[in-house]
Structure 1
Amino acid sequence: MDDLALTAWMTALRHQIHAQPELALHEVKTTALIKKALTDLGIRLVDYPGATGVVAEIGHGEPKVALRADIDALPLQEKSGLPFASKIDGRMHACGHDFHTAALLGGARILKAHEAELPGTVRLIFQPGEEGHVGAKEMLSHDVLHGVQAIAGFHNMPELPVGTLAVKSGPLMASNDNFDVQINGTGAHAAMPERSADPIVTLGQLITALQTIRSRNIAPDAALVLTIGEIRAGHTFNVIPDTASFKGTIRTFNAANRQLAKDRFYEIVQATVKAYQQTVAIKWDQGPSCVNNDATLTDLITAACQGAFKIVPAHPANADDDFALYQEQIPGFYGFLGSGGTGTLHQPNYSCSDAGLIYGARFHWLAAQTLLAAVAKNKLLATDRAS
């Protein structure tokens, strides 16, 4: 199949997926579409017990490597104006996971055509639930990496031109920790604050105080972001409420700073609340660690892709990706692929170009060959991976 025909095939699949977006761990129609496309190609499906998501294999024997794409959408109203825009209110493929899915299917088609030449097995992982960092955890609980010795994937970037591959060894995407805090005080008439233990005052102090984690505990040249994204308190103008709460996120690229930020967060919140004679409940959601590219794999894949892509340095992203959970187990590479679109990730006007799909398919073909060769030659060492 030539590039034009392969692009047309991937484009049709992508538009189908884009028009029917499904949220994390509810990707039933998407899962069925992927299975049908793979089965039609004669690619064998691997028994996977999860309700959504697909695992398949091409080739035979050892070594065994993996390619991964995520398949879920976001709870967002689409405003792209595309002719194949979402047909479901409040849902949109605003992160390009439809692009990722179609590109991995295209890569699978190339791999299947060259199956006899493969010196091992390529496992295809179509992962549900990347948004909310639940999908990789779910797949790993079902031993999806059993026998796999290395893994690769990419994320599309609409601000990068089609044909561009951005690469970086080591930390590429930030770790993600989310917090949900409820301050429990004592309400009263707004005109009688002396009879209250006002949780809104405490919340106000914390909004400022928590920023000192970044400004006074983390070195100026180290990246860390602490954002409070939601505040809830009260219901009217003349009543001090009993409770106030807030939610937010912390992103960083360093494991020690990640732990330090968490420790200081608890110390500041608990001490401040106690000073105002109130109590607090903190819910901490520890998300993925930092996406951390294996040094050897980065060099090998970069070299393999030199002729097919314009290679540029990748700028680290404060966004997270649960691809990191696979890299905690085996050496892995994750790149940023130019998709030449509009808007940016997670925006309602986001779009990406179908012209980028052929490059996604080529990436998977080249990455699979590179991983197989690297594992066969024992080029991957555990010391290449950061802790």
Structure 2
Amino acid sequence: MEWLRLLILLFTFTNHVSSWGSVAAGSRWEVSQLTRELMDSAREPEFFDWLKRVRRTIHENPELAFEEEETSRLIRSELDSLEIGYTWPVAKTGVVASIGSGSQPWFALRADMDALPIQEMVEWEHKSKNPGKMHACGHDAHATMLLGAAKLLQLKSKEIKGTIKLVFQPAEEGRGGAYHMIKEGALDNIQGILGLHISPEMPVGTIGSRPGPMLAAAGRFLVTIHGKGGHAASPHLATDPILAACLTIISLQQIVSRETNPLESRVVTVGFVDGGQAGNVIPETVTLKGTFRSMTSEGLYYLQQRIKEVTEMQASVHRCTATVDFMLEKMRPYPATVNDEAMYKHAKSVGETLLGEPNVKLLPMGMGAEDFSFYAEKMAAAFFMIGTKNATFVSKTDLHSPFLVIDEEVLPIGAAFHAAVALSYLDNVDAVVTH
């Protein structure tokens, strides 16, 4: 009878395998059907025209960090028209909307709203109306795509198995708006979160990310070197802070080149130098500003310590003094952006269904920084880049460029991707978490 028991066990195992396979196939079919429906809805002419109107309105009225009053007002107006409830203000100008049952699980989608202090150089009908300010990092598109997701999700609100939070965040550009959103409790009890950022280097219709570490931890520094002014013809009677500043800048580069393991990624860059009024006068002070970056928190702390030591010692060598300000309150250092592997795989799978496997790219690590990292420290997070490049556009392809142009075809793609990731997460939350 032993053979009979073995046969029964084999039969039972085979049935289980068949059952698992059918469930997986069914799940894939449901996700595929869902993403097609969402994409079809987002690409309907009326929907797409609305997305473009919203994006262009935001683009025309750029506002800097923690000043996003009109942008926040527009977002709330659109949410009101969709009959979606929200909390406001959060972190001064932020908005957090809710769609679904209000019960757990909670999943979040995030977009930033702030612009940059850049004068737009692109001549078009919807050019920035605020001199010296521009959406040169795509936050106008980010907010629009999230509003598009809100509209798609509201159409399916009765089918949502939990709650989706829509996080419209201020002050990503150097001011750590995400930190303040978390500090005020806006993201308490959220299990997972997705963030999107445009990439003008990737073709529209593609997305990309990577599991684990993706973007660097980053901080800023402000150095003031104090000397003794005097006439250029009598340098021995002065104490030259320009000479001290020059040697300081060179020495700071050696922290990476001579003190860092070549297999580790770190950066120290001085991007601003100010001092002096005339070519024949030695000034009293010179000011330097820069950034330091690392793929680890330990590396960032090491750079911070060495920047202070090197600067103070180089100033002393040249008979000057130096103060180093890391601007910890105004420009809080950002942690590294680290994607949760299970959340990354979930979003990647949705992206492959939405756009096709070849259009979901594995990106290399980068030394750019994002305050989405604060969310990634607190919950399972996935941060993806979404392509906006169109080969027919004559456009400089860098973020933070006054010539930035994006292909608005990205708007329905981003809206559908946001919505599909959130809905499918809530439908299969246990599978995603234990993936």
TM-score range, shorter chain: over 0.9
Instruction: State the distance in 2 between where 1:245 and 1:89 align.
Output: 27
Identify which range, 188-197 or 12-21, moves more after superposition: 188-197
Q: Structure 2 regions of 5+ residues with no counterpart?
A: 1-40
CA contact (8 A) 2:113 2:169 kept: yes
CA contact (8 A) 2:217 2:294 kept: yes
Task: Choose the corresponding residue for 1:325, options 374, 392, 408.
Answer: 374
- Work out whether 1:336 is the aligned partner of 2:385: yes
- Work out whether 1:361 is the aligned partner of 2:411: no
SS at match of 1:328: helix
Write 1 or 2 for the structure with the bigger share of helix. 2
What letter corresponds to residue 344 of structure 2 in structure 1?
Answer: T
CA contact (8 A) 2:312 2:323 kept: no
Q: CA deviation at 1:226?
A: 1.4
Q: CA deviation at 1:146?
A: 1.5
What letter corresponds to residue 283 of structure 1 in structure 2?
Answer: D
Instruction: State the distance in 2 between where 1:235 and 1:99 align.
Output: 42
Structure 2 match to 1:34: 75
Instruction: State the distance in 1 between where 2:207 and 2:431 align.
Output: 25
Task: Choose the corresponding residue for 2:286, options 228, 237, 244.
Answer: 244
Deviations along 1:232-281, one digit per CA (max 9) or x if unpaired, are: 12211222222112111112212222122112212211221222232211
SS at match of 2:243: helix
CA contact (8 A) 1:180 1:247 kept: yes
Task: Choose the corresponding residue for 1:218, options 257, 260, 265.
Answer: 260
Q: CA deviation at 1:376?
A: 4.1
- Work out whether 1:3 is the aligned partner of 2:43: yes
Using the size of structure 2 for normalisation, the TM-score is: 0.84
Assess, with a 3 A threshold, how the Cα gap between structure 1 residues 304 and 198 changes in structure 2: closer, same or farther: same
CA contact (8 A) 1:78 1:90 kept: yes
* Identity level (%): 34
Q: CA deviation at 1:134?
A: 3.0
What letter corresponds to residue 327 of structure 1 in structure 2?
Answer: A
CA contact (8 A) 2:91 2:177 kept: no
SS at match of 1:178: strand
Task: Choose the corresponding residue for 1:294, options 340, 343, 346.
Answer: 340
Instruction: State the distance in 1 between where 2:161 and 2:204 align.
Output: 30
- Work out whether 1:351 is the aligned partner of 2:416: no
Assess, with a 3 A threshold, how the Cα gap between structure 1 residues 148 and 88 changes in structure 2: closer, same or farther: same
SS at match of 1:214: helix
Q: CA deviation at 1:374?
A: 5.5
Instruction: State the distance in 1 between where 2:432 and 2:366 align.
Output: 30
Assess, with a 3 A threshold, how the Cα gap between structure 1 residues 378 and 173 changes in structure 2: closer, same or farther: closer
Cα RMSD for the two superposed structures: 1.7
CA contact (8 A) 2:216 2:368 kept: yes
- Work out whether 1:58 is the aligned partner of 2:99: yes
Structure 1 match to 2:29: none
Instruction: State the distance in 1 between where 2:108 and 2:269 align.
Output: 34
SS at match of 1:93: coil
SS at match of 2:99: strand
What letter corresponds to residue 365 of structure 2 in structure 1?
Answer: P
Assess, with a 3 A threshold, how the Cα gap between structure 1 residues 2 and 122 changes in structure 2: closer, same or farther: closer
Instruction: State the distance in 1 between where 2:350 and 2:251 align.
Output: 48
Instruction: State the distance in 2 between where 1:212 and 1:314 align.
Output: 29
Q: Structure 1 regions of 5+ residues with no counterpart?
A: 382-387
Task: Choose the corresponding residue for 2:130, options 88, 92, 96.
Answer: 88
- Work out whether 1:132 is the aligned partner of 2:174: yes
CA contact (8 A) 2:118 2:133 kept: yes
Q: CA deviation at 1:51?
A: 3.0
